[in-house]
Amino acid sequence: VFQKWVNREISNFDYLIQLNTMAGRTYNDLAQYPVFPWILRDYTSEELDLNNPAVFRDLSKPIGVVNEKNAKTVKEKYNFEDPLGMIDKFHYGTHYSNAAGVMHYLIRVEPFTTLHIQLQSGRFDCADRQFHSIPAAWQALMDNPNDVKELIPEFFYFPEFLENQNGFNLGQLQMSKEMVNDVVLPKWAHSPEDFIYKHRKALESEYVSAHLHEWIDLIFGCKQRGPAAVEALNVFY
C-alpha cells in the first residue's frame, strides 16, 4: 500500500482509509473511529487558493500546537509533576479522536443524533458547545490547547452531515441568539457539496501530498510515543 501511495497509484484519501484500517480503526466502533487530519487553516477567504502554501495547516505539528502560542501551555502541562507519581506525563488530557468527538461532528444524522442525546442524559447539549460552524470549530482549536479534535473521513465525502435535513431543534447560540441549523461553511464554499468538493481537492493537492507523511508519523508512526512524541509535543493522557 505504501509503495502504491508513493507512486501515486492511490489517492491520499484511500491511503488514509487503509492506514486507519490497518491500525484497527473502524466505522463500527466510535471509540476507534477512522481519524483524518485538519488540512486547511483558511476558513475566511472568499476564494480558496490551493497553490498558496499559507492556506494549509502545518501537518508536522499536532493540532493542539498548530497555533504557536499554545505550545507554552502544553509544555507546562507536561512538566507538571503528579505529587503521587501515579500518572504518566502528558501534553493533552483529551484525545484527537474519541466517541464524543465523532457524535459532535455527526449530530445532524442518525444514529449519531440519538447517541448524542443518550450521552447528554436525554437532551441535546447546549447550542454553544455544538458543532455549528466550520470556521468557528477551527478558531476554537486555535484558541484552546485543550481542544485537540482532528477530523473524520466524512469531511471529505459526505455533504449531508453538514445539513440539518431532519429539522432537529438544536437550540440557539447565547451571544448572537441565532438558531443552530445547518453547519456554517467557510466563505469559499457555496454549498455543502461545494465544501466537500474543495476540501477533497485540498486533500489531494500537491502541498498535502508532500506533507501528509508528517501527520501520519504523529498519529500512526514514529512520533506517537516515546522520546520522539515528547519532542513533537504529541503525548496524550
Q: What are the cell numbers at 204?
A: 489531494
Is the pLDDT at 165 greater than 90? The verdict is yes
Q: How far apart are CA 58 and CA 66, in angstroms?
A: 6
Is the pLDDT at 11 greater than 80? The verdict is yes
pLDDT at 83: 77
Half-sphere exposure (CA, 13 Å, Cβ side) for 195?
Answer: 24
| Averaged pLDDT for residues 150-169 | 98
DSSP assignment of 70-133: GHHHHHHHHHPPPTTS-S---SBSS-SS-HHHHHHHTTTSTTHHHHHHHHTTSSPPPGGGS--B
Q: Is the dihedral of CA 35, 41, 45, 47 positive or negative?
A: negative
Residue 47, judged by CB atoms within 10 A of its CB (0-12, 13-18, 19+), counts as exposed
- What's the mean per-residue pLDDT of the chain? 95
CATH, range 1-42+52-232 = 1.10.1540.10
pLDDT at 146: 87
What percentage of residues in the chain have a pLDDT greater than 90?
Answer: 91
b/e code 144-160 from CB counts within 10 Å (16+ = b): ebebbbbbbbbbbeebe
Q: What are the cell numbers at 138?
A: 477551527
Using alpha carbons, select from 121, 177, 183 the residue that is nearest to residue 158: 183
Q: What is the pTM of this model?
A: 0.95
Instruction: Delimit the domains of the chain by residue range.
Output: 1-42+52-232
Give the single-character DSSP code of 183.
Answer: P
pLDDT at 114: 96
